Amino acid sequence: MLRPNLMCLLRTLQLTHGWRPPMSNYVKINFDGAWKKDSHLAGLGVVARDATGLFCGGLVTPFHCNLALVAEVATSLCAFKFAMNHNFTDIILETDSKILVEGVRGGEKNGVWAIQPFLDEFKKISVCFRYVLWS
């Protein structure tokens, strides 16, 4: 049922991030984006798993992007929307992106202007969840 590239992504995320299960009731969302400077072509993958490690859905999709930073943040926005569309209520978003976590936590004051529209979007989507944690 899983597409082969999704299986591959799942395995990669597990290996590189030392995946740990979330607390019970939470769904952990892992995501990763890759981006090529010359082609502006980016790809992103999202994997959701519950506390028992059960796969709860995922996606892999290409997209276009001209800024690595934006690709990173766009990937997390996609992961966030994915979680919303799956009606998850309590989620943990796991990312290595410091700029994103600081942006989401710190609000307006660490203005990296390029990601501000994404942060605004995050704020809007956040109301769809009961708990959103970043790790």
Residues that bind ligand NAG (CB under 6 A): 86-87
Question: Which residue, 84 or 112, is less far from ligand NAG as judged by CB?
Answer: 84
For residue 32, the minimal CB distance to ligand NAG (Å) is: 22
Nearest to 52 by CA among 29, 83, 79, 20: 20
CA distance 17 to 11: 10
Question: Which residue, 86 or 123, is less far from ligand NAG as judged by CB?
Answer: 86
Residues recorded for the chain: 135
**Longest Cα pair distance anywhere in the chain, in angstroms?**
44
For residue 83, the minimal CB distance to ligand NAG (Å) is: 11
Question: Which residue, 3 or 11, is less far from ligand NAG as judged by CB?
Answer: 3
For residue 87, the minimal CB distance to ligand NAG (Å) is: 4
- Residue 116 parent element (H or E): helix 116-126
